[in-house]
Amino acid sequence: MIVTKQKPFEVILKELEDAKKVFLIGCGDCATLCETGGEDQIKEMTEKLQAEGKEVTGNVIVEVACHELDAKKEFRAHKDEIAAADAMLHMSCGAGCQAARAGLEKPIFPANDTLFLGNIVRYGQFEEKCRLCGECILDVTGGVCPVTRCHKGILNGPCGGTNEGKCEVDPEKDCAWTLIYQQLEKEGRVDKMKAYQPPKNWNPTLKPGRHVVEREKGGE
């Protein structure tokens, strides 16, 4: 899921300084779990903006805010409320904000900062374990990503700074290569660590990314 944190309210007010009327957009998926764009946050933001003299013309929580077609459908259902607003405040991730951009002409302002793709460890606790690098080597690293989970991104580790399984950069964090070794040892595949990994090829993730799922003709 995409992990976000809400911007300080004074920053949001600065974004909206020229808007008297605001329409709020939330997300029923990631932002709801992060408590940055669900029903409770929409209500709280409405109250805060009204207390500052803003008029909130309405709101919508798109089930998955980055789904452009669904977002456009929801916007059509709220076209009068949107038309009455000077600006949109989007309480989702950057992808959701830009999905709204594809379906609206009004100015759009982000209420959140987008942090990373996160694993859900438990409710309200997220950890980054994948950097979306486009060339996965988890098959030879025991399912532990060194690109993301090693602070130095070392592909042929460990470095000389690991100490009792902890990282020298952050002693509170496990050394990714220690985790890799321990997992491969359990699997009887420690020999995989002997394979040299060439320098990372970042071409698969040149920005902006685009991917189309090809369908076989007649297979629909």
How many Å apart are CA 34 and CA 91, to the nearest integer?
11
Q: Across residues 106-134, what is the average pLDDT? A: 93
| Residue 127, number of CB atoms within 10 A of its CB | 12
Average pLDDT, the chain: 93
**Is residue 219 in some structural domain?**
no
Residues 101-125 have a mean pLDDT of 94
For residue 218, name the pLDDT band (cuts at 50, 70, 90).
low
Eight-state DSSP code of residue 86: S
The per-residue pLDDT for 119 is 93
- Give residue 215's pLDDT: 76
Partners of 109 in the beta sheet?
89
- Distance, in Å, from the CA atom of 14 to the CA atom of 113, rounded to the nearest integer, reads 15
218 falls within a domain: no
Domain limits at 56? 2-116
61: three-class secondary structure by DSSP: strand
Q: Which has the closest alpha carbon to 165: 186, 185, 144, 180?
A: 180
Segment 164-204, tens digit of pLDDT: 999 999 999 999 999 999 999 999 999 999 989 999 888 88
Question: What is the total count of domains within the chain?
Answer: 2
Six-digit token string for 205: 């993730």
> Residue length, the chain?
220
Q: Is there a domain that residue 187 lies in?
A: yes
Portion of the chain with pLDDT greater than 70, in percent? 98
For 37-45, what is the mean pLDDT? 98
213 in any annotated domain: no
Q: What is the pLDDT of residues 54-80, one digit of tens each?
A: 999 999 999 999 999 999 999 999 999
Residue 212 lies in a domain: no
CATH of the domain at 30: 3.40.50.11860
- Give the pLDDT score at 202: 84
State the pLDDT confidence band at 214, using cuts at 50, 70 and 90. Answer: confident
> Is residue 216, in this structure, part of any structural domain at all?
no
The values of phi and psi at residue 45, to 5°, are -65, -40
